[in-house]
Amino acid sequence: MNREMIETFVQRYLDATGSQVTEKNNGWITVQLSPEADKDLMNRSYYWGFVERTGAAPEPMRFTFIYDPESYGAKIAPPRSATPAAPPPAAGSDAPGAPAAPGTPPDGAAASDSILGRYFGVTTALASSYGRIPSDVMAFGSRRMEQLFGVVKSRGRFVRLFENPDPAVMNPYASLGYSTWLCINYKVELICDMKRDELHSLGINLATGQIVEGFYDRVNKRRLTPQIPPTIHLQHATLSLNRAVSELEDFLEVKVSAYDQTWSVDAWKRLKEEWSRIDSYYGDLLRSVEPSQKTEVEEQYKAREQEIDWQYRPRIAVSVMNCGFFHLYEGIRTPIDRSR
Tell me how far apart the alpha carbons of residues 70 and 64 are, in angstroms, rounded to a whole number: 14
Q: Is the pLDDT of residue 297 over 70?
A: yes
User: What percent of the chain has a predicted confidence (pLDDT) above 90?
Assistant: 51
Q: Is the pLDDT of residue 123 over 80?
A: no
Q: Where are the beta strands (DSSP E) in 18-92?
A: 20-24, 28-32, 62-66
- The reported pTM is 0.64
Greater confidence (255 vs 101) lies with 255
Do residues 321 and 156 lie in contact, with contact meaning Cβ atoms separated by under 8 Å? no
Burial of 147 (0-12, 13-18, 19+ CB in 10 A): middle
**What does the pLDDT read at residue 125?**
42
Greater confidence (83 vs 65) lies with 65
Parallel/antiparallel/unpaired status of strands 62-66 and 135-137: parallel
**What does the pLDDT read at residue 331?**
67
Work out the pLDDT band at 334, boundaries 50, 70, 90.
low
Greater confidence (289 vs 51) lies with 51
Do residues 161 and 182 lie in contact, with contact meaning Cβ atoms separated by under 8 Å? no
Tell me how far apart the alpha carbons of residues 139 and 6 are, in angstroms, rounded to a whole number: 7
The CA-to-CA distance between both ends of the chain, in Å, stands at: 56
Tens of pLDDT, residue by residue over 304-316, are 999 999 999 999 9
Do residues 205 and 329 lie in contact, with contact meaning Cβ atoms separated by under 8 Å? no
Tell me how far apart the alpha carbons of residues 340 and 329 are, in angstroms, rounded to a whole number: 24
**What does the pLDDT read at residue 204?**
96
